[in-house]
């Protein structure tokens, strides 16, 4: 990435890195590691229980924690505090080790430096989750964790940037997209300091064996008042190659805070901003099809993923199997399920949203008479960020269901694990513990999440339309508003149906 002098900073009164104790801990050299170590220990525990514990999903930490608790906490953290999961991500601990071991390798191949790989990885994970029933298999979930650790280690050892986080990791991709709604973002405190910064260590890292003389700290006598010394091991710059003064959204930011540690001018902050401001800024999202379709496809999978857990999916799968002649061909059940799932995922999760969004963009161009002025890509990419709130609402409604009906299951499963290892000081497991019993209450919370997402999307689309089409804004908004309404109604229908209580003892 070539830094340019164009600098950006969100207006912010709050900087988390300036908080008395929290700021120091976050900026500390081992601040992130202190968060990662407990998560790495937890990942090791899940792998251990997944391979050696009870194969029943509802009795095993490997299935209950990732599929019931992690996803619920992740969406809550994204909404309230930002990309906390990536900040504490255990998969990047071996990755950092690989980086130290391997030195500086080449960059990730240019042809793969886009979000298409991430889109493919996401779809593959959604497909594998449904086809192999990860949620019901502790051993498969443990293998998934091992695969994550291995992939991040190998990719980091081979390449100089952080390709696993930036181009591959499905969890990171999900977090990148929905942390654009978060109330905090990396930004610089004083853009003038960046203009005269020579080292740009926030991007490149600090490895100089000599202390850096800060040009803004040279006294009247020409001697430096203050210098910045690097630690003997050096400080990493931004692994995903973001340049702090140019950051306009949370896309690609794993909140590692390496930029804040590396900046010798102490000029990087974790600033508050109005949630969702990045969605309507003209320059916050590059006008690229890969990024636009990632956002739209991820929102569509919020529907498709939920559809995989309600009764009509079985009827559809049966009719597809019959209609495509798979049953008559004598294929195994697993092969039939794979083909049918691929068809549902590709049509419902990819082809339909891609076609509908292209048609909507074309309709908006015609209605606003901007066919000559705006390319189809420009019209589509401008409105793609408006799908972030509704996508988040759909995923939050889905994950909230599993979390709310099962959050207390962590207690008996932990009791069971300890009892199994002759450490039963928490007593015998009480398997009656689940979560909120009233499905009406859970359904109400789901509908609130869905409606909030829809309203957020509508507001974002309205602002984008006003910026793009000015007096023609209503005409430009109409097709997008209809598409968003369609998604909201589909979500409302899905969440009104009985959903499988995966991960709980009654559904193992």
Task: Provide the binding-site residues for ligand SF4, judged by CB under 6 A.
Answer: 186, 188, 193-194, 197, 200-202, 238, 240, 242, 244-245, 247, 253-259, 263, 265, 267-268
Kind of pairing between the strands at 184-188 and 212-213: unpaired
Closest to ligand SF4 by CB, 186 vs 303, is 186
Paired tokens of 206: 């600090």
Smallest distance, Å, CB 247 to ligand SF4? 6
Q: How far is CA 430 from the centre of its chain?
A: 34
Closest to ligand SF4 by CB, 162 vs 415, is 162
Smallest distance, Å, CB 366 to ligand SF4? 40
Paired tokens of 151: 């992939």
Smallest distance, Å, CB 12 to ligand SF4? 15
Closest to ligand SF4 by CB, 187 vs 297, is 187
Closest to ligand SF4 by CB, 263 vs 279, is 263
Closest to ligand SF4 by CB, 27 vs 398, is 27
Distances (CA, A) of 219 to 196, 227, 230, 265: 16, 12, 21, 15
CA 384/CA 397 separation, integer angstroms? 21
Give me the residue label for tokens 């792998």.
47
Smallest distance, Å, CB 173 to ligand SF4? 14
Give me the residue label for tokens 């509802």.
58
Smallest distance, Å, CB 15 to ligand SF4? 13
Q: In sequence order, which ranges of 201-269 are alpha helices (DSSP H)? A: 201-204, 258-262
CA 276/CA 460 separation, integer angstroms? 8
Closest to ligand SF4 by CB, 206 vs 280, is 206
CA 506/CA 17 separation, integer angstroms? 45
Q: In sequence order, which ranges of 407-472 are alpha helices (DSSP H)? A: 410-420, 439-469
Closest to ligand SF4 by CB, 160 vs 414, is 160
Distances (CA, A) of 198 to 20, 194, 264, 265: 29, 8, 11, 11
Smallest distance, Å, CB 36 to ligand SF4? 13
Contact 464, 481 (CB under 8 A): no
Closest CB to ligand SF4: residue number: 197
Smallest distance, Å, CB 57 to ligand SF4? 34
């Amino acid at each position: 990435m070539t830094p340019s002098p164009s600098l950006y900073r969100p207006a912010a009164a709050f900087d988390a890195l300036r908080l008395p104790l929290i700021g120091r801990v976050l900026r500390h050299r081992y601040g992130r590691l202190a968060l990662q170590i407990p998560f790495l220990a937890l990942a090791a525990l899940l792998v251990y229980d997944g391979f050696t514990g009870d194969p029943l999903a509802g009795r095993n930490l490997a299935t209950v924690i990732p599929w019931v608790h992690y996803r619920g906490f992740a969406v809550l953290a994204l909404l309230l505090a930002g990309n906390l999961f990536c900040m504490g991500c255990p998969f990047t601990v071996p990755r950092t080790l690989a980086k130290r071991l391997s030195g500086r390798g080449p960059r990730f191949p240019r042809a793969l430096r886009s979000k298409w790989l991430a889109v493919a990885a996401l779809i593959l994970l959604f497909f594998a989750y449904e086809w192999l029933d990860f949620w019901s298999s502790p051993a498969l979930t443990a293998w998934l964790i091992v695969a994550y650790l291995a992939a991040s280690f190998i990719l980091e050892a081979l390449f100089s940037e952080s390709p696993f986080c930036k181009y591959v990791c499905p969890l990171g991709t999900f977090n990148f997209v929905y942390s654009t709604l978060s109330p905090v973002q990396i930004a610089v405190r004083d853009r003038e300091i960046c203009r005269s910064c020579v080292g740009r260590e926030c991007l490149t890292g600090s490895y100089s064996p000599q202390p850096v003389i800060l040009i803004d700290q040279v006294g009247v006598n020409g001697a430096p008042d203050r210098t910045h010394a690097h630690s003997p091991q050096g400080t990493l710059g931004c692994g995903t190659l973001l340049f702090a003064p140019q950051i306009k959204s949370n896309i690609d930011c794993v909140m590692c805070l390496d930029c804040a540690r590396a900046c010798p001018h102490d000029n990087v902050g974790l600033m508050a901003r109005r949630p969702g401001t990045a969605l309507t800024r003209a320059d916050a999202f590059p006008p690229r099809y890969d990024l636009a379709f990632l956002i739209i496809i991820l929102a569509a999978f919020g529907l498709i993923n939920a559809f995989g857990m309600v009764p009509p999916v079985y009827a559809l799968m049966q009719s597809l199997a019959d209609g495509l002649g798979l049953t008559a061909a004598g294929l195994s059940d697993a092969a039939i399920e794979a083909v049918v799932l691929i068809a549902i995922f590709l049509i419902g999760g990819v082809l339909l949203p891609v076609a509908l969004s292209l048609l909507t963009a074309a309709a908006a161009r015609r209605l606003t008479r901007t066919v000559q002025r705006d390319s189809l890509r420009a019209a589509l990419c401008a409105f793609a960020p408006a799908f972030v709130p509704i996508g988040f609402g759909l995923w939050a409604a889905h994950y909230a269901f599993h979390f709310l009906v099962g959050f207390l299951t962590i207690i008996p499963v932990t009791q069971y694990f300890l009892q199994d290892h002759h450490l039963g000081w928490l007593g015998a497991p009480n398997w009656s513990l689940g979560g909120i019993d009233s499905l009406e209450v859970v359904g109400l919370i789901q509908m609130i999440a869905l409606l909030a997402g829809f309203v957020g999307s509508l507001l974002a689309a309205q602002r984008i339309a006003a910026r793009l089409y000015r007096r023609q804004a209503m005409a430009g908004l109409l097709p997008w508003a209809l598409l968003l309404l369609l998604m909201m109604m589909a979500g409302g229908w899905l969440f009104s149906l009985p959903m499988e209580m995966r991960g709980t003892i009654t559904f193992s």
